[in-house]
Structure 1
Amino acid sequence: MNKLRPIVLVMILVATCLLVSTPANAFGPSVLFAPSGDCNRPYCTTYAKSVQTNSGRILASFEDNNQPAQGQTLPIFSSTNNGQSWTKIAAVADTSPRRWGSNWTNPYLYVLPQAIGGMPAGTVLLAGIASPPDRSGTAIELYRSNDDGFTWTWVSEVAVGGGEWGSANPTPIWEPYLLVANNKLIVYYSDERDKANHDQKIVHQTSTDGVHWGPVVEDVAMADRALRPGMPVVTRMANGQYLMVFEMVGQADTPNNYKISSNPESWNASDGGTTIDHGGSPFVITLPNGRLAYNSHGSTDIRINTNNGAGAWTPVRTTMPRGYSRMLQYVRGTGRVLILSVEGCRTGRRSCSGRTTAGTTSTGT
């Protein structure tokens, strides 16, 4: 997590053309979510994430501080028309044995492409950060849904960290990202528990059943302990190799870097990668045509790479504003990509407009 940059507050979902360098002609937006009343944190809504289930339904979740910290839940919104309209179908409460009482932040949604343990292919997973209401601890908790996101069951606890900054033990963990590879479920995340050596590093843990988790493995851990690599996102490219993008807080303008590995469990942790752009909070996906689509907080553009990470990352203009933790979601059957973005302003009470909206346009993929 980047503790240096303000987090913006409005979420917008729009798709953009990925084949030509002309502005996208998005239609919409339609409202997904609009906060009302006070928020329990200056960042009222942030970390919007989505997934498309095997039925074609699109699910979205986000950190929603427009509710009391005690009993806070991760909302689940659903769209059955490719993002044009949305309905809240669930609120995932902290039902883990820890019972801290707040499913707080950093939701990540994922559909299993194969069976993992007792969970069949097509199971929808939700990883997120649970915390006590005073944010004195953090834990990555994993939930599952077998009915397209309407009901959720706790599966396991991946890892436990200390509290957020300002707490008595500020050694939190953040930003889980899920991937299945090597017949394992991998959870990558940002880790602040090794303060003697690294202010923050990127690590992962693996499981063959989603319940029992292996040891912590370093993926990006810099010799300069003041650097804070974080917000990992990993995609399998068309050539079978894996590409990880991450931000490098602590360097000028917050570079967004990438590195490539043939094994998603081995990343040469001392390698800080190659810079794509600046501004933090990168995200990348592999499109069906093999191209990589990438964006970050630093620009309104999407960048396209046509050579499995090598060579140029070509900017493509969009009508979208910049956004913190801006998500890209390819929509099967339409050839469209949704951008989920959180943009707006900071305030200690209400988030300016705080609306979550949606719109789409063809990508031509």
Structure 2
Amino acid sequence: MRKNRWLVLGISGSSVLFFLNVLLAFRDSTVVEWGKRVVIREVAVFKDKGTVVEVGGTVLRSSGKYGAQYGRLLKLKTGEWLAAYTVSLTNGYQRDANGGLELEVAKSADEGRTWQSVGRIKDPGRDLDNAQMIQRKDGAILLACRSVRWQESYKLPVYFSDDQGGNWKLLSEIDRHEGGVGELGNPDQGVYEPHMVFLDDGRIAVMYANEKYAKLNPGYSQIISQKISDDNGSSWGKEIKVVYDDNHRSSRPGMPVWTRMKNGKFMVVYEICGPEKCNIYYKISEDGIQWPKGFGNQIPEQLGGPYLFSLNDGRLLVTSNKSNMSVSNDFGKTWQLINSAWDKTLWPSIYQINEKEVGVVNSVPREIGGNNIQVRFGKIMK
């Protein structure tokens, strides 16, 4: 009788089994049990609200509610952790020739429970943002970021530290686009959001969002580009176009984050803004160099600013500015929504703290304005 009922509905036995498996998966979806939240960096709001004044010999700064944003972590070979994030501690380069957003680096020796600021990177007269770090086999740390003067100068510098993040020196430049004041605007024609990964042969590869083609004819509003370094980040090779589509030139693939999966293949996730409304997509490569053409495949229920992490057991976790979290147990063939670490996210990132624990870093909004950098820890359940 039950079998005939399904046949009347026009559903085969194999389809029934599929839907039952889906229902069971969603019923048993607690992959991580979320717990403690820790503040990595809290930047005080400046005392004045727009005017630079001097009171008793103290200059009160004007751009005071930014706080800290865009946190990214790195686990060192020593077991310690570094955090890099963007801070606003000056009036900004438009009011102060030596001003601009800066990058700060903090260190934790207790798996992220407490943090201490250890270093700062400045590029006077420019805004730094989008930090991301890796550690070379020789122990040196590389930090890639964007450095901009809006609508006139865009660079992707790589900084080098040989003392675990305390001091930084400029090592190389991934890409740049230079023009006169206002020449690279309407639309912007910049380069942003570098993300470095080691290839199987030990070389460092980087992906980034690239608007340099925006005013070419025919051009692209934005694409995702890749370059490879044969000398540990001291120089970078020719550009490889990773995500673009000749039939969708107004689309804006960007914010790439990629990793080597446990099966040896590479996956990159990214947003596609414009007509695709900042939905999240992914591609898979056998070697991290040759990538399929087109826009790839969409990850459901994710939107803007994605982050991807491959757990030690092979599962993939993805989150984004939509504040959802997705897991894949089959290297991206299917995705399932799971319990999320945060109700509201801005530029989140994911890390495996130890075998039993993950952490999700977030730019958390404050009642006083701006954001601080926090990490929320979660126990891996299965």
Give the TM-score taking structure 1 as reference length: 0.81
Q: In the alignment, is residue 89 of structure 1 matched against residue 112 of structure 2?
A: no
Identity within the alignment, %: 22
**Structure 1 residue aligned with 2:23:** none
Indicate the residue corresponding to 2:59 in structure 1: none
Whichever residue aligns with residue 315 of structure 1, its letter is: L
Q: Which has the higher contact order (CA 8 A, sep 6+)?
A: 1
Look up the SS of the partner of 2:236 in the other structure: coil
How far, CA to CA, are the matches of 2:99 and 2:76 in structure 1? 27
Is 1:203 matched with 2:225? yes
Residues 314-364 of structure 1, C-alpha deviations (whole Å, 9 max, x = no match): 1111341332221011113x522111112438xxxx961533334423224
Change (3 A) 1:88 1:289: same
Amino acid at match of 2:228: T
2:349 counterpart of 1:340: no
In terms of mean alpha carbon deviation, does 32-41 or 195-204 score higher? 32-41
State the Cα deviation string for residues 268-324 of structure 1 (Å, max 9, x = none): 3x410111033111111111111111111113x3211111111x2111113413322
1:228 offset after TM fit, Å? Answer: 0.2
SS of equivalent residue, structure 1 residue 142: strand
Supply the distance in 2 between the matched residues of 1:52 and 1:59 (Cα, whole angstroms).
6
Secondary structure of the structure 1 residue equivalent to 2:379: coil
Aligned to 1:153: 169
Q: Tell me the equivalent position of 1:106.
A: 130
Equivalence map 1:291-306=2 (5 Å):
291-299=315-323, 301-306=324-329
Residue pair 1:32, 1:358 contacting (<8 A) in 2 also: no
Is the 8 Å Cα contact of residues 34 and 353 (structure 1) preserved in structure 2?
no
> 1:55-114: CA deviations, max 9, x gaps?
1111111222343333443100111111211111110123xxxxx6435111111122x4
Q: Which has the higher helix share?
A: 2
Q: Are 1:193 and 2:212 counterparts?
A: yes
Instruction: List per-residue Cα deviations over 1:167-188 (Å, max 9, x = no partner).
Output: 3213110000001113321111
CA-atom RMSD, angstroms?
2.6
Structure 2 Cα separation of the partners of residues 66 and 192 of structure 1:
28
Quote the offset at 1:163 in angstroms: 7.3
Counterpart of 1:75?
A: 104
Q: Secondary structure at the match of 2:91?
A: coil
| Change in 2 beyond 3 A, CA 1:218/1:254 | same
CA contact (8 A) 1:35 1:355 kept: no
Counting matched residue pairs gives 325
Separation of aligned partners in 2, 1:335 and 1:344: 28
CA contact (8 A) 1:293 1:305 kept: yes
Unaligned runs of 5+ in 1: 1-18, 95-99, 115-119
- Specify the SS of the correspondent of 1:251: helix
How do 1:134-145 residues align onto structure 2 when only pairs under 5 Å count?
Answer: 136-145=152-161
The structure that has the greater radius of gyration is: 2
Deviation at 1:34, TM superposition (A): 2.8
Q: Give 5+ residue unaligned stretches, structure 2.
A: 1-27, 50-61, 93-97
Distance 1:359 1:340, change over 3 A: closer
- The equivalent position to 2:349 in structure 1, one of 320, 324, 327, is 327
Distance in 2, matches of 1:257 and 1:220, equals 10
Aligned equivalent of 2:21: none
Distance 1:81 1:295 in 2: 25
Query: In the TM superposition, what whole-angstrom CA distance separates every residue of 1:182-206 from its partner, at most 9, and x where no partner exists?
Result: 3321111000001121010000111
Please state if 1:178 is matched with 2:201: no
Contact in 2 for aligned 1:138/1:160 (Cα 8 Å): yes
Partner Cα distance (1:226, 1:252) in 2:
10
Runs of 4+ in structure 1 over 6 Å off: none
